[in-house]
Chains A and B, each alone.
Chain A
Amino acid sequence: MLLRYVTKRVLIGILQLFGLTIAVFFLIRLLPADPVSRLVGLNSSEAAYAQAAAQLGLDKPVLEQLAIYLGLMPSVEPGLLQGSLGVSWVTNSQVLSEVGAYLPVTLELITLAFILAMLVAIPVGMLGALNPGGRADKGVFLYSLFAGSQPEFWWGLLFVYVFYYQLGVAPPPLGRLSPMTSSPDMVTGFMLIDTLIAGSFSKFVEAFHHLMLPVITLAFILSGPIIKMVRQNMLRALQSDFVLYANCIGLPKKRVARYALRAAMAPSMTLIGILYGFMLSGAVLVESVFSLGGIGQYAIRSVLAFDYPAIQGVVLVITGISLIVYLALDLIHAAIDPRIAN
């Protein structure tokens, strides 16, 4: 039963990814932008223009371009089926490797932010649910509404002002490590892990130090919706019929608490997945403020430069990861709650 559900979801996911690829491809080309002029200059000669267009592959008919992109014509250029996301029009390097360099930065940031947010938000949300309508609960609720509606880039700046400029406990927002420090060899792309692999504890501390403010900023924003949702789900669980009945038949308190917890966690899984997917691109603003060099900044650069392959690559990879995360969390949800798989 569960297996059928899993296979169905995976198949749908693959189809969606495929549809997505095509959609992105066409949408970008439908927009009235002219990347060739961008590359060659507005006052170029016709010949130069034509040459640039050919270089970018834009002189071919659209369907042929799509076929090449998908990898159906590997003799011309490797495509998706061969595992290539194309070549950046700006840097001329493989989009896949560029994405591979920038993506872990973002993943490191948001994963840490999520962990911090959940560590704080889940207990706080539960606290609110245990005493609904009480003073603590009202405070928790207002906080969650507040935190969830904040501009994260502004808070990032605020934190920089307070903790760097005024208090001096944080480093200047100039990247993952201080500009003077040489970065270790990138194995995984995650700075914290790589500094440890390289055996340099001082660099690890420095990396940690530089990640502090961005992680706190993001965690603050995330805590809003997570608290709101945990509180709501926990409240619903505590007031449900079966928890009441469990009390009626005299089950020990711990057991009843576990009943409620499991019922509250199951629907929360889906929301956490959605938030994670959202954050993959939503972290871009924080990345900019702290100059971390993550996928968001890569996206900004590509968009402003009209670098089609890079844009397509970023959107594809981010959406692909989102879909995988949704799938994983939905599966966890189905494992916790046996009603879903039917």
Chain B
Amino acid sequence: MARIEQVEPGMTLIVRKRDWLFIIGVSIVSVVCLLALIGPYIGPYDPTLTTPRVAYPPPSLTEIPGQLIGWISGTLEYPPHWMGTDASGYDIFSRVIAAPRTDLAIALAANALSLVLGVFLGLVAGYYRNWATELMMRVSDVMQSFPVFISAMVLVALAGRSTTNIVIALAFVYVPIYIRLTRAEVLSQKSRGFVEAARALGNCELNIALRHVLPNSMTPALIQSSVTIGFAILLTAGLSFVGAGVRPPTPEWGLMISTGANQIILGEWWPSVFPGIAISLTVFGFAVLGNALERRYEEGQ
């Protein structure tokens, strides 16, 4: 939809179009966040309890309208299993919408932790260049070349499979990225004119670092957050898939795919496919959002 804002002779006509990427990204992320809050409560079944109906397939396309009507009018014997049940009898739909609470919570916490730590350390490393910060950068480099998945696995498996440990393990993996991003930005912002101007006015260094340099250096890290959260979800799912992540029966997409993997060869596709679609869309949403934010930032430069 074009909206004309300014017309001058020979010069600029400003036309605003919808930023589809941004809209898609925000929508998906909002839905996931919403599910993280209310997901476990709105499903037809309790996500942590089994039902007597084991390995039931989801209703076929022709059955759906009938099931819907029956459910709304309350004539059904039991609430429909929209996505079927798995080999233990869990209702897949309820678990799929309950999983964001686990996945997103872990991803958000890990990201927040590594963001705060990484930005702080990056600021220090960029501002003060002495042997201590150089050493820290070398250590950070080494941490970055650790095989990501295996380090996370090692940390979680050896320290115990609790949610806190997963969060710490993920944060450990992501901190070097934030340090590097922030430090690079700090190095470039440090030599900007307004920093020197602030010094010429008589500001103390602490004030300059916190009020001038930091706010101008945080943006790349913040934009990266969106993508990092998405990858954290993938990583959590992957860890759970190999048995080094959350414990059953916590609803978690990776875990669900893992338990459903054995059934795929038998032709029972639904326990693995639906959680997979959920992860696929969620991480895609975060990636799209991150990209849209990045483009807005670059346009502003």
Point out residues on A near B: beta carbons under 8 Å: 16, 19-20, 23, 28, 31-33, 145-146, 148-151, 153-155, 157-158, 160-161, 164-165, 172-173, 277-278, 280-282, 284-285, 288-289, 296, 299-300, 303-304, 306, 311, 314-315, 318-319, 322-323, 326
Contacts and interface: CB of A to CB of B under 8 A. Distances in A.
B272 A145 contact: no
A158 B273 contact: yes
Contact of B150 (A281, A323, A326): A281
A150 B160 CA distance: 27
27 contacts: A23-B142, A32-B160, A149-B284, A150-B283, A150-B284, A151-B257, A151-B276, A151-B283, A154-B279, A154-B280, A157-B257, A158-B273, A161-B269, A161-B273, A164-B265, A277-B147, A288-B242, A300-B153, A300-B242, A303-B244, A314-B150, A315-B151, A318-B150, A319-B146, A319-B147, A322-B145, A326-B145
B123 interface: no
Interface of B is mostly: helix
B244 A304 contact: yes
A119 B273 CA distance: 29
A23 B280 CA distance: 35
Contacts of B288: 145
A31 B155 contact: yes
B291 A20 contact: no
A229 B63 CA distance: 45
Given A33-B159, A149-B286, A20 B145 contact: yes
Contact of B158 (A31, A148, A149, A155): A31
Given A149-B234, A154-B280, A318-B150, 5 more contacts: A19-B139, A145-B288, A288-B241, A306-B157, A311-B154
Contacts of A151: 234, 237-238, 254, 257, 276, 279-280, 283
Nearest to A319: B145
A154 B147 contact: no
A157 B264 contact: yes
Given A31-B159, A149-B286, A289 B150 contact: no
Nearest to A165: B267
A282 B147 CA distance: 8
B155 A285 contact: no
Contacts of B155: 31
Interface in B252-274: 254, 257, 261, 264-265, 267, 269, 272-273
Contacts of A281: 147-150
Nearest to A284: B149
